[in-house]
């Protein structure tokens, strides 16, 4: 595990470069991710405030909500937003401690843009749940998604989780693997989520799957309005 120091970035780089020379598909993308991680550590060393504060200070007045106990935040953490891709990814992370990079971008974009919630809330939840947690990469990734970091995603780039689900899970296999509510054939993997979560959450696979806490259109429109207001000259 690179995050735990079991393997070094140098080893990863040389292994990836050797694979690239052999013509391995995906090697170039792997090497880019290694460089991206090293850039995160460069930022953490030279600008350590990236771990706790907006890297770009002009984002300090952006109207994110910051309540950890907001119902939308709780729904996001529990995989009960009513948005299938988001919920499946959040449940996978809670059970396995891992989440695909595509899922991380989707759930981060959804929290910071559709739900207009400060990135640090998502950052702390990832800290708690991921077995490959990495302080530098986690902070930079969240600020990339939110728009407050260096080389961040443009404010108008708001992932549509439903479109992403149709594109990357056209047969619905990922969704059915992790979401039990309302499914005609509940998988063992979907049930494992309910074994893993605290009883205090009061969730059951027999529950009705929730309606979206915020519709994707309403969330997108609200975020675009807030972001465009920020872009206006004062």
Q: List pLDDT tens digits, range 104-125.
A: 999 999 999 999 999 999 999 9
From 13, 36, 38, 181, active-site residue: 36
d(C-alpha 183, C-alpha 205), whole Å:
9
Cβ atoms 72, 214 nearer than 8 A? yes
What band does 5 get if pLDDT is binned at 50, 70 and 90? confident
Q: Verify whether residue 142 is a known catalytic residue.
A: yes
- HEC profile of 15-36: HHHHHHHCCCCCHHHHHHHHHH
Per-residue model confidence (pLDDT) at position 234: 56
pTM score, two decimals?
0.91
CA end-to-end span of the chain, whole Å?
A: 47
Q: Verify whether residue 133 is a known catalytic residue.
A: no
d(C-alpha 229, C-alpha 62), whole Å:
10
Structure tokens at 119: 């990135």
Q: Verify whether residue 125 is a known catalytic residue.
A: no
Q: Verify whether residue 13 is a known catalytic residue.
A: no
From 59, 76, 125, 142, active-site residue: 142
């Amino acid at each position: 595990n690179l995050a735990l120091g079991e393997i070094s970035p140098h080893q990863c780089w040389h292994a990836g470069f050797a694979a690239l020379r052999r013509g391995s598909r995906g090697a170039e993308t792997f090497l880019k991710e290694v460089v991206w991680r090293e850039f995160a550590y460069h930022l953490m060393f030279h600008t350590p405030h990236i771990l706790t504060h907006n890297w770009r200070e002009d984002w300090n007045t952006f109207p994110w909500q910051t309540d950890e106990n907001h119902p939308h935040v709780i729904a996001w953490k529990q995989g009960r937003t009513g948005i299938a891709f988001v919920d499946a990814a959040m449940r996978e992370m809670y059970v396995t401690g891992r989440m695909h990079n595509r899922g991380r971008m989707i759930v981060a974009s959804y929290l910071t843009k559709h739900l207009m919630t400060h990135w640090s809330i998502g950052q702390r939840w990832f800290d708690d749940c991921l077995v490959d947690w990495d302080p530098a990469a986690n902070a930079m990734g969240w600020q990339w998604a939110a728009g407050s970091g260096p080389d961040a995603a443009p404010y108008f780039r708001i992932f549509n989780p439903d479109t992403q689900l149709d594109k990357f899970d056209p047969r619905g296999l990922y969704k059915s693997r992790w979401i039990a509510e309302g499914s005609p054939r509940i998988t063992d993997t979907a049930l494992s989520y309910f074994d893993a979560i605290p009883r205090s959450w009061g969730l059951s696979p027999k529950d009705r799957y929730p309606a979206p806490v915020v519709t994707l259109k309403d969330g997108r429109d609200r975020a675009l309005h807030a972001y465009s207001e920020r872009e206006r000259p004062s």
